[in-house]
Structure 1
Amino acid sequence: MDASREEAEVTRQPKEADEVTQPPEGPAAGPAPEPGSPAWWQARYAERDRRRPRAGGLTLARITAGALELADRDGLDALTMRSLGEHLQVRHTSLYRHVASREELLIETVDHMLGEIRLPSLTAGWQAGLEEGAREFRRVLGAHPALVPALTGGQLLGPHALRAREHALGQLLDQGWAPRTAVHVYLTVTHFVIGSAVLDSGGAARTGPQRAAMTELFAHLSPVTHPVVRRHADLLNAPDGVDEFTFGLRVLIAGLGRLHTEETEA
């Protein structure tokens, strides 16, 4: 079924009694904002404020929970509006009243996934709190590797993402960080965790056959042009994603500790 026929089908289907949406107020809307952009999220929040969900009806939370289950089980490519409808045992056309496209579905599902993060306390010290938070974030991403590539589909500005942002920044400020630096610290650690997860999900994680192939490659390098790589081939081929994440996080927090000392003593 092509897009125009599917759109027509959505129009013809009788509306389910899942919720009533009040018509938007104000002037006619302009071009739709890019999904995942700040303007898109602002419109989503306004739309949620207008909705009146009915008990037992199809909800966005049910949709995104089902999407996460489906991606975990069958992979991201298998997650379509039609397959999700089958998974939830509803008409796939009913999903379009909550998300306008698969792209929007993925963005909302990513935020649903972020709701699994257990927010740490920094009362024992900001270093321990940051490390715990980073490891917890990485744990959640590791539990849903199929969805990790979708992290780059838009800015993390959904309700669960903002909950984590509010918590982390508030904790850093309470621990004496200056506001501007606290923002940089939060973003730096967040992007480090995401980068680590994206690399692993994209094939950077080394399997046994990949390690064997890398050993073979290093062994055939010229000792004239690559003497250092040949000499330390075993070490270069040894770390896995967990080792690299642990080392990188330790170095990152140690560097932030020196920065914090410099700022507080200035």
Structure 2
Amino acid sequence: MPRPHTPILSPTRIRATALALVDRDGLEALSMRKLAAELGVQAASLYSHVPTKDDLLHDVANEIIGRVDVSGFDEGWRPGVVRWARSYRAALAEHPNMVPFVARGPARRDASLRMADAVHGGLVGAGWPPREATMIGAAVKYIVIGAATSSFAAGFSDDAQLYVERYPHLNQAHLLREHAEEVDEDSFELALEGLLTTLDAKHEVV
């Protein structure tokens, strides 16, 4: 009799399957037992590759944050912030169910710490005091996390009558869902530009 086939586990396959599970079912749905079932193995088999669920989530978050582009600071602090913010949002928006975990902070996560180090170094190197650089990093993160967590425009109903009868100042809100991607993109850029305009004026006197 041939020996039963056991699926080969690798860190890459474990991370990819865990991320697909979170994307599909949500962060709270991830468990080592459920992940093992998705992989076709026993839960005990996973622990030789990843000690805990929290470690696994940090590995997945590392992979997502590792895609963020922080190379723009060679061109100046403003281009660096713009490229970083857009890339950061894009990376998180692909996996919105992971955003609550990523938003907790870098802890000891290598990719997040490398990102923070590059951003802080780019800002300080451009003349921002360390405290101001820290605040800029935090402000951009707040904009990015908010933009990546959910769609503002898609959260409205497409029932025009609902707004006409009860909320007259929202009489065009039923159109937002149809144009959600454009509205959300433009709104993110508005928030980012507002921050940058404030920082432009502040940087002149730093």
Aligned to 2:202: 259
Q: Distance in 2 between matches of 1:236 and 1:107?
A: 39
For residues 183-208 of structure 1, the C-alpha deviation after alignment (integer angstroms, 9 at most, x for no partner) is: 111111112101221243xxx4416x
Q: In 2 relative to 1, CA 151–57 (structure 1 residues): closer, same or farther, beyond 3 Å? A: closer
Q: Structure 1: which 5+ runs fail to align? A: 1-55, 222-228
Residue pairs, 1:178-189, within 5 angstroms: 178-189=129-140
Contact 1:117 1:140 in 2 (8 A): yes
Q: CA RMSD in A?
A: 2.8
In the alignment, structure 1 residue 155 sits paired with structure 2 residue 98: no
Q: Which 4+ stretches in 1 moved above 4 angstroms?
A: 56-59, 235-239
- Could you tell me how far 1:167 is from its partner in structure 2? 0.6
For residues 142-164 of structure 1, the C-alpha deviation after alignment (integer angstroms, 9 at most, x for no partner) is: 11123223334x32231010010
For residues 47-85 of structure 1, the C-alpha deviation after alignment (integer angstroms, 9 at most, x for no partner) is: xxxxxxxxx9754x5533331233235544543212322
Q: Distance in 2 between matches of 1:90 and 1:244?
A: 45
Residue 117 of structure 1 aligns to a residue in which SS? coil
Q: Distance in 2 between matches of 1:93 and 1:120?
A: 41
Aligned to 1:220: 165
Q: Distance in 2 between matches of 1:104 and 1:217?
A: 46
Larger mean Cα displacement after TM superposition, 157-166 or 69-78: 69-78
Aligned to 2:78: 127
Contact 2:164 2:170 in 1 (8 A): no
Q: Structure 2: which 5+ runs fail to align? A: 1-7
Residue-pair matches, total:
192
- Give the TM-score of the pair, scaled to structure 2: 0.77
The structure with more helix, counted as a fraction of residues:
2
Residue 154 of structure 2 aligns to a residue in which SS? coil
Aligned to 2:154: 206
- Give the TM-score of the pair, scaled to structure 1: 0.62
Aligned to 2:188: 245
Q: In 2 relative to 1, CA 236–130 (structure 1 residues): closer, same or farther, beyond 3 Å? A: farther
Contact 1:119 1:167 in 2 (8 A): yes
In the alignment, structure 1 residue 115 sits paired with structure 2 residue 115: no
Tell me the amino acid that sits aligned with residue 82 of structure 2: E
Contact 2:17 2:38 in 1 (8 A): yes
Aligned to 2:141: 190
Higher Cα radius of gyration: 1
Tell me the amino acid that sits aligned with residue 138 of structure 1: R
Q: Distance in 1 between matches of 2:95 and 2:136?
A: 25
Q: In 2 relative to 1, CA 218–67 (structure 1 residues): closer, same or farther, beyond 3 Å? A: same
Q: Distance in 2 between matches of 1:173 and 1:77?
A: 38
Contact 1:113 1:140 in 2 (8 A): yes
